[in-house]
Amino acid sequence: MESSALPDLLQRVLPEARVGVTQSSDLHPTVSIDRRDVGAVMPVLRDHAELACAVLAELTAVDFWPREPRFEIVYLLLSVQHRLRLRVKVPVPGDDPHVPTVSPVWPAAIWLEREVWDLFGIGFDNHPDLRRLLMPDDWQGHPLRKDYPVQVRMAARTSEPLQVSEQEFRANLERDRRARR
Amino acid sequence: MPDIRTETMTVNMGPQHPSTHGVLRLVLELDGETVVSVAPTIGYLHTGIEKTIEQKKWQQAVPLVERMDYLSAQSNALAFCLSVERLLGLELPERVRWIRILVAELQRINSHLVWLGTHGMELGAVSVLMYCFRERELLLNINEMLAGFRMFPSYLRIGGLREDLPRGFHEAVSAFLDRFPSKLDEYEDLLTENEIYTERTRGVGRLSAEDALAYGLVGPIARASGVAYDVRKAFPYLGYETVDFAVASRTEGDVYARYLVRIEEMRQSVAVCRQVLARITPSGAWAVGDPRITPPPKDRVYTEMEALIQHFLIYSQGITVPAGEAYVPVEGPRGEQGFSVVSDGTNRPWRVKARSPSLLACQALEKMIVGGLIADVIAVIGSIDVVMGDVDR
């Protein structure tokens, strides 16, 4: 697929969508879309017969601090059927960082979005279970942000295991289970 | 008979459990012996490698990415180097490409041997571990010969290889390739027709092709479910299109199918290694000739001013990579493995994100475990071949 064909196709299927063309060094067709259009564009990318991107290969974010819009969510899609890779970028402003979730389209996104929330602090609207994934639950801040303080000398901390009674443990499990459903 | 009041039981498995391949923790809800729900908890091995890389120079990132998926170090390094080389726009010499293919395929065999040994042991076939580690030792010896380090050789560099192949390398590899197929038959004698093994794996942990794709599990797991997708065939890199090999695939989607797929992959890897080994000339280039990327040979550094300057620049300032982003994946032992690399045009990476096949496999555990028996959980975890270093990074 030519790199200009993808935005044309999207514009044809979704005349309302705000689609921008961007260049990439690795020659994967790349589009930039507005975050308000994520919910409309992503199902098209998965279901359109010419694209059929059944696999969300990667979902990540890049922090361009201090530039604005500060964040960029990057979706790398893979079409096994057409041997095609697409990259979709969604700019996200730093003062209001959130985008719609794509987990109903690709379940793989559930953990990948949790990871982005954990490390960048970008929220995903209507995500089924938006909790930290890698860092401890009581961690302060989002470490992969560029303004996160590193190489700062801090006193050593130990994490005390949470002390709960058996009833509280069961209640917590029940709450988590309800959250997952 | 009066109604018996029943309730589900919650069992915490891991993080310190010998069959969770590290520190995976599963909270299982059981109804009798049947698993009703599972919640994997990860992050115990999170070391922040992606953040660390942002403070390093490009070349210094290679040893770090090798330590993410510690059973397939050279595949990680290969994926990272390919992405950075795409940004640099480098064309690799042919000899470098063949050596890299050889190294990557030996790494695949190495990783699959650890998987086979531990998976067999968890299902009670303890001797398989001894057999597999016997051959793995030979591969680690080859690594040691190549780079002086057995697990994390850091032999691949941006722009080529660290140095030329050592003396006796061809002989060592061909001795291994001659020996290995008969040993593969030995493993198969132990497991393939073994009734205890097949009873515990056939029909266990089924995953449909649609689920495999929806959860992003492109790799051996999806191939066992009937998705014959292999990065080496679909998006050839390093000249894989000139190598003759078949993509192993099954349709059952159970633990046994994943076992058969990986065994067949090892056979195909041997075939690939034989072909590329014959193409590697005894002497020739081992890196690109670009003086901004490859340090000059030592004898020139000692005798020429320009070479000394180049040497000094590369080792103090490092490589400068043009701004842009690239994602060039490889077919790693666990599936599509790649690094989404962003450069701002300086000598340090702006952002490096590892695509982790193990993370996605952990996420899909729920699809494979729920509804099965608790004893099968061990078989399923073994069959998806997770490396926790790759999950948590």
The answer to whether the peptide bond before residue B15 is cis (omega within 30 degrees of 0) is: yes
The total number of structural domains that make up chain A: 1
**Distances in whole angstroms, Cα of residue A144 to Cα of each of A62, B43, B55, B89:** 9, 15, 12, 28
CB contacts of B322 in chain A (<8 Å) are 25
Q: Which portions of chain B are predicted below pLDDT 70?
A: 1-2, 18-20
- What's the CATH code of the domain at A19? 3.30.460.80
Residues 312-331 of B with CB under 8 A from A: 322, 324-329
Interface contact A56-B216, CB threshold 8 A:
yes
| Domain boundaries, position A13 | 5-180
Across the A:B interface, residue pairs with CB atoms under 8 Å apart total 107
| pLDDT for the residue numbered B13 | 83
Interface contact B363-A180, CB threshold 8 A:
no
CB contacts of B213 in chain A (<8 Å) are 54-55, 80
Interface contact B50-A144, CB threshold 8 A:
yes
Residue of A nearest to B322 (CA): A25
**What torsion, rounded to 10 degrees, do the Cα atoms B172, B175, B176, B177 define?**
120
Interface contact B29-A134, CB threshold 8 A:
no
Interface contact B214-A108, CB threshold 8 A:
yes
Work out the minimum CA distance from A9 to partner chain B, whole angstroms: 23
Work out the minimum CA distance from B287 to partner chain A, whole angstroms: 21
ipTM field: 0.86
| pLDDT for the residue numbered B349 | 92
Domains and CATH numbers, chain B: 9-392 (1.10.645.10)
pLDDT in 10s for each residue of chain A, 181 residues: 666 677 777 777 777 777 777 777 777 888 888 888 888 888 888 888 888 888 998 999 999 888 888 899 999 999 888 888 888 899 999 888 989 999 899 999 999 999 999 999 999 988 888 888 888 877 888 889 888 887 777 777 776 666 788 888 888 878 877 776 6
Nearest to B326 among A25, A107, A134 (CB): A25
| pLDDT for the residue numbered A3 | 61
Answer yes or no: are the C-beta atoms of B153 and B147 closer than 8 Å.
yes
Instruction: Using a CB–CB cutoff of 8 Å, tell me whether B183 touches chain A.
Output: no
Residue of B nearest to A149 (CA): B51
Instruction: Using a CB–CB cutoff of 8 Å, tell me whether B198 touches chain A.
Output: no
Nearest to A177 among B37, B214, B393 (CB): B37
Interface contact B235-A85, CB threshold 8 A:
yes
Nearest to B342 among A56, A62, A78 (CB): A62
Work out the minimum CA distance from A154 to partner chain B, whole angstroms: 17
Is pTM beyond 0.95 here?
Answer: no
CB contacts of B362 in chain A (<8 Å) are 111
| pLDDT for the residue numbered A181 | 62
DSSP B151-167: S----EETTEESSPPPT
Work out the minimum CA distance from A142 to partner chain B, whole angstroms: 11
**Distances in whole angstroms, Cα of residue A119 to Cα of each of A87, B13, B54, B193, B230:** 21, 26, 14, 47, 31
Interface contact B325-A25, CB threshold 8 A:
yes
Answer yes or no: are the C-beta atoms of B336 and B311 closer than 8 Å.
no
Q: In chain B, where does DSSP find H-type helix?
A: 49-54, 61-66, 73-88, 94-122, 126-147, 169-191, 195-201, 209-214, 220-224, 231-234, 255-279, 298-303, 305-316, 357-363, 365-369, 374-384, 388-392
Interface contact A144-B83, CB threshold 8 A:
no
Interface contact B327-A85, CB threshold 8 A:
yes
Residue-wise pLDDT for B266-324, tens only, equals: 999 999 999 999 998 888 888 888 888 888 888 888 999 989 998 898 888 888 999 88
Interface contact A62-B350, CB threshold 8 A:
yes
Helix axes A38-47, A5-13, angle to 10 degrees: 110
Radius of gyration from C-alpha coordinates of chain A: 19
